[in-house]
Amino acid sequence: MDLIQSYSEELKLIRKPWTKVWVWGLVLAVFLLPTYTTDAVVYIATMVFMLTVGVLGQNLLIGFTGQISFGQAGFLAIGAFTFGHLSMLGVPWALALVAAGVMAGIFGFLVGFPSLRLKGPYLAIATLGFGVAVYQIFANSPVLSGGRMGLTIQKLEEFWFLNMEQTYFYLYFIIAGLFVLLTYNIVSSYMGRAFIAIRDNDIAAEVLGVSLTRYKLLSFAISSFYVGVQGGMLALLLGYLEPNMFTFLTTIDFLVAVIVGGLALVEGSILGAAFVVIIPQLLSEYKEAVPFIYGVAIILVLIFQPLGLAGMWLKMRLYFRHWPFR
Amino acid sequence: MALLEINDLNISFGGIQALAGVDLEVEPEEILTVIGPNGSGKTTLFNCISGVYKPTSGAITFEGESLLGLSPDHVAQRGVARTFQNLRLFMHMTVLDNLMLGRHVMFKKNPAAAFLRLRKEELKHREVVEELIDFLELQAYRSARISDCPYGIQKRAEVGRALALEPRLLMLDEPISGLTAEEKQETAYLITEIKGRFKPAILLVEHDLRIGSALADRMVAIDNGVKIAQGSPEEVQRHPEVIRAYVGDE
């Protein structure tokens, strides 16, 4: 029985006691992951957390606001190199991470301007142009990219009794957790509602007083902020940067993660990030097969399960709601 | 002073003159019905007022200030709300969220509140929306996705969404088209209730002449983008130009 007694109760993040139990159980299980698995698994989980941040941002833009962007690799590169240069200047990593996000956010705001005029595939082409241009600029400018040697970045030091993998694991777990909460908050607020309204019917949204200019640019800026932070996390995790990490294939990773994970579902971004990290790991013997798997996965998802992995999860929960089926 | 004043409004799309020199006045708290055959320019008139189309020339004055050149969201902020002839709802949202979006212009929009999940504003507006839901008798559909609701409910929810703006001018584009006979009566009654309770001026486009004229305080007829008659509903319906436009010459 689901009895709501006040409006504020309905706005809670987790409403039902049982949901609370399994969510906290899941968080605890992930938190204790280093105690019962190998460092290799911990490293993969760290990559999932890192990618979750960027995919959440991409999902805000594509899934919630309905603006298709192929420029993700560009924002990722801007975030990563901003972080790289700042960290080489001796700026502490936390500050550099925020700066990476803000820098990418500023570029996101600027790239958002074509979205005021262009829709659908035309916007996709314009943002694709941005992504490719950023890659070319970094690839051809030794000052920005550190030339043939790339940038070498000071990595984290081992924290307390944790080893290197565990230090990164817990830091990225916390960052990803914060971004997940932030995303839930945004999408359930007036802002998220405005984003969804623009996606569902932009003319009606505008006639009801939603400024398309403001909310489209805001969506681009927030989404790029997320991706920029992910870029910073990438630089911090790998310890070096070169332009070849930010080709169009990186953008494809984001797109696959958002679609396979589940459009406009926060849980979907986590599952999607896990998908694009884990599949290449499982198939490390057959690297050529990865794009093929991605392609097939997108086609299957679009045909059979438009809400992706998260949609499957939702349906499963709906099914078991009446357990034990008496 | 009139609430809405339109003077010599012209708009053309290429060679087609959709509106040619239309003059119109809407007084506060009155219901003005606009009638006219298909393609006569009624919806174009709505789109010009709400800022979706930019008129070629002419003046639109609302509460003494010009609406010309304003984008639709700014027109909405001035207190003008409208519904659409072919529903334009946010199909993936619940009925409740659709109405909550109608409150958008009234929200104190503080991004920090959005990021940190401070929900004071949200609760305040939720109470207003719940009153609207009671008024429109949408309780049973409150948390249903609007695409799953029957057409009559969708139509009513769209009126609710416009009402949520607390408009001083409410523009209803064929609010009873496509409804059953019973729903038509209900909606007509609803419009009189809106008039009594919220006291907006209502600009109504309607094809059903019987209900349209029963509701109207005044009536205007448009044909081929030109205003052909104006006055009380009886006068307009008997006007020879109107009869010619609807029935043709003898």
pLDDT tens sequence across A21-57: 989 999 999 999 999 999 999 999 999 999 999 999 9
**Domain-located, residue A4:** no
Residue A33: HSE in the Cβ half-sphere, 13 Å Cα cutoff:
20
Structure tokens at A154: 């000071």
pLDDT in tens, B166-190: 999 999 999 998 899 999 999 999 9
**Domain-located, residue A202:** yes
**Domain-located, residue A21:** no
CA nearest neighbour of B153 among B161, B80, B130? B161
Q: What local confidence, expressed as pLDDT, does residue A258 receive?
A: 94
Confidence tier at A149 by pLDDT (50, 70, 90): confident
Between chain A and chain B, the number of residue pairs with CB atoms below 8 A apart is: 108
Task: Tell me how far apart the alpha carbons of residues A314 and A308 are, in angstroms, rounded to a whole number.
Answer: 10
**Domain-located, residue A209:** yes
Long-range pairs for B244-247 at CB < 8 Å and ≥24 separation? B245/B36, B245/B37, B245/B40, B245/B221, B246/B37
Structure tokens at B100: 């909550």
Q: Say if the Cβ atoms of B89 and A201 lie within 8 Å.
A: yes
Q: What is the CA radius of gyration of chain A?
A: 20
Q: What local confidence, expressed as pLDDT, does residue A49 receive?
A: 96
Task: Tell me how far apart the alpha carbons of residues B125 and B107 are, in angstroms, rounded to a whole number.
Answer: 8
Give the ipTM: 0.92
CA nearest neighbour of A27 among A174, A192, A208? A174
Task: Tell me which residues of chain A have a C-beta less than 8 Å from any C-beta of chain B.
Answer: 7-8, 11, 13, 182, 184-186, 188-194, 196-197, 199-201, 203-212, 264
Q: What local confidence, expressed as pLDDT, does residue B11 receive?
A: 94
Residue A152, strand partner residues:
A240
Q: Using an 8 Å Cβ cutoff, are B223 and B18 in contact?
A: no
Task: Tell me how far apart the alpha carbons of residues B233 and B211 are, in angstroms, rounded to a whole number.
Answer: 11
* CATH number reported for the structural domain that contains residue A311 in this entry: 1.10.3470
Whole-model pTM: value is 0.92
pLDDT at A157 over 70: yes
CA nearest neighbour of B38 among B244, B204, B206? B206
Strand order through the sheet with B57-62: B16-26, B4-13, B57-62, B65-66
Residue B201: HSE in the Cβ half-sphere, 13 Å Cα cutoff:
19
Q: Average pLDDT of B92-99?
A: 94
pLDDT at A100 over 80: yes
Q: Say if the Cβ atoms of B109 and A185 lie within 8 Å.
A: no
Q: Does B186 touch chain A (CB under 8 A)?
A: no
Q: Using an 8 Å Cβ cutoff, are B60 and B4 in contact?
A: yes
Q: Average pLDDT of B225-246?
A: 90
Q: What local confidence, expressed as pLDDT, does residue B10 receive?
A: 93
Task: Tell me how far apart the alpha carbons of residues A143 and A169 are, in angstroms, rounded to a whole number.
Answer: 32
pLDDT over 70 percentage in chain A: 99
Q: What local confidence, expressed as pLDDT, does residue A278 receive?
A: 93
Task: Tell me how far apart the alpha carbons of residues A88 and B68 are, in angstroms, rounded to a whole number.
Answer: 54
Task: Tell me how far apart the alpha carbons of residues B159 and B144 are, in angstroms, rounded to a whole number.
Answer: 17
Q: Where are the beta strands (DSSP E) in A147-208?
A: 151-152
Q: What local confidence, expressed as pLDDT, does residue A2 receive?
A: 64
Structural domain spans, chain B: 1-79+168-175+200-250
Residue B245 C-alpha, separation from nearest chain A C-alpha, in angstroms: 31
pLDDT in tens, A117-143: 888 889 999 999 999 999 999 988 888
**Domain-located, residue A12:** no
pLDDT at A1 over 70: no
CA nearest neighbour of A187 among A225, A223, A212? A223
Q: What local confidence, expressed as pLDDT, does residue A15 receive?
A: 80
> How many beta carbons lie within 10 A of that of residue A120, not counting itself?
10
Residue B69: HSE in the Cβ half-sphere, 13 Å Cα cutoff:
5
Q: Average pLDDT of A157-182?
A: 92
Q: Say if the Cβ atoms of A186 and B115 lie within 8 Å.
A: yes
A203 CB neighbours in chain B (<8 A) are: 52, 72, 88
Q: What local confidence, expressed as pLDDT, does residue B63 receive?
A: 93
pLDDT at A102 over 70: yes
**Domain-located, residue A215:** yes
B161 CB neighbours in chain A (<8 A) are: 208
A207 CB neighbours in chain B (<8 A) are: 50-52, 72-73, 75-76, 81-82, 88
Q: What local confidence, expressed as pLDDT, does residue B55 receive?
A: 93
Q: Say if the Cβ atoms of B114 and A8 lie within 8 Å.
A: no
Q: What local confidence, expressed as pLDDT, does residue A249 receive?
A: 87
Q: Say if the Cβ atoms of A264 and B92 lie within 8 Å.
A: yes
CA nearest neighbour of A262 among A303, A191, A220, A310? A310
Burial of A97 (0-12, 13-18, 19+ CB in 10 A): buried
pLDDT in tens, B188-207: 999 999 999 999 999 999 88
User: Greatest CA separation found in chain B?
Assistant: 70
Average pLDDT of chain A to the nearest whole number: 91
Task: Tell me how far apart the alpha carbons of residues A11 and B97 are, in angstroms, rounded to a whole number.
Answer: 12
Higher confidence at residue B70 or residue A6? B70
Can you state the angle between helices A120-140 and A248-261, rounded to 10 degrees? 140
Confidence tier at B250 by pLDDT (50, 70, 90): low
pLDDT in tens, A236-261: 999 989 888 898 888 999 999 999 99
**Domain-located, residue A10:** no
Q: Average pLDDT of B35-41?
A: 88
pLDDT in tens, B58-74: 999 999 999 998 999 99
Write the residue in B73, B126, B130 that is nearest to A209 by C-beta: B73
Could you name the CATH architecture of B1-79+168-175+200-250? 3-Layer(aba) Sandwich (3.40)
Residue B42 C-alpha, separation from nearest chain A C-alpha, in angstroms: 17
pLDDT in tens, B110-155: 899 889 988 889 999 999 999 999 999 999 999 999 999 999 999 9
Q: Average pLDDT of A272-276?
A: 94
Q: Average pLDDT of A186-208?
A: 94
Q: What local confidence, expressed as pLDDT, does residue A322 receive?
A: 75
Mutate to test the interface with A, among B82, B117, B127 (most CBs of A within 10 A): B117
Q: Say if the Cβ atoms of A206 and B97 lie within 8 Å.
A: no
Task: Tell me how far apart the alpha carbons of residues A243 and A15 are, in angstroms, rounded to a whole number.
Answer: 45
Chain A, nearest residue to B128 by Cα: A7
Count of structural domains within chain A: 1
**Domain-located, residue A15:** no
Confidence tier at A4 by pLDDT (50, 70, 90): confident
Structure tokens at A41: 């698994």
Domain that holds residue A154: 38-320
CA nearest neighbour of A196 among B50, B105, B104? B104
Q: What local confidence, expressed as pLDDT, does residue A326 receive?
A: 66
Chain B, nearest residue to A13 by Cα: B117
B positions 34-73 inside 8 Å of A (CB): 50-52, 71-73
**Least trusted range by pLDDT, from A145-149, A150-154, A261-265, B40-44:** A145-149
Residues in chain A: 326
